[in-house]
């Protein structure tokens, strides 16, 4: 994640410089799942496409920042499937 910029404005999740090297904007209405663990965040969107953010090697402050951002996405995403976290 050290080469990535992740932002969320309440409607659109923006991923710049992540693993695929393609910049993406994802509206929360398209988010169907979020899996978050200590080493990675995987965001699934309609159509089954996944975006992964690797957290391995990040410090606790950066992890907390990402965790707060993802909590905001979860709260705003109307299409999250039951049981997804």
Q: Which residue has the higher pLDDT, 65 or 22?
A: 65
Q: Residue 53: beta bridge partners? A: 41
The domain that contains 70 carries what CATH number?
2.30.29.30
- Can you give the residue range of the structural domain that contains 38? 5-76
Q: pLDDT-derived band of residue 24, with 50, 70 and 90 as boundaries?
A: confident
Is the pLDDT score of 20 beyond 80?
Answer: no
What SS3 class is residue 66?
helix
Whether 10 is in a domain gets the answer yes
Q: pLDDT-derived band of residue 83, with 50, 70 and 90 as boundaries?
A: very low
Virtual CA dihedral for 46, 51, 31, 24, nearest 10 degrees?
-90
Mean pLDDT over 45-66 rounds to: 87
How remote is the C-alpha of 18 from its chain's centroid?
11
pLDDT at 55: 84
Q: What is the number of domains present in the chain? A: 1
For 77, the token pair is 């995403």
User: In whole angstroms, how far apart are CA 3 and each of 6, 49, 53, 78?
Assistant: 10, 22, 11, 29
Whether 14 is in a domain gets the answer yes
């Amino acid at each position: 994640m050290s080469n990535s910029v992740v932002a969320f404005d309440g409607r659109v999740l923006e991923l710049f410089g992540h693993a695929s090297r393609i910049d993406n904007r994802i509206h929360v209405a398209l988010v169907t799942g979020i899996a978050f663990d200590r080493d990675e965040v995987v965001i699934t969107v309609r159509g089954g496409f996944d975006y992964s953010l690797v957290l391995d090697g990040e410090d606790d402050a950066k992890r907390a920042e990402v965790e707060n951002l993802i909590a905001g996405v979860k709260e705003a995403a109307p299409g999250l499937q039951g049981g997804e976290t």
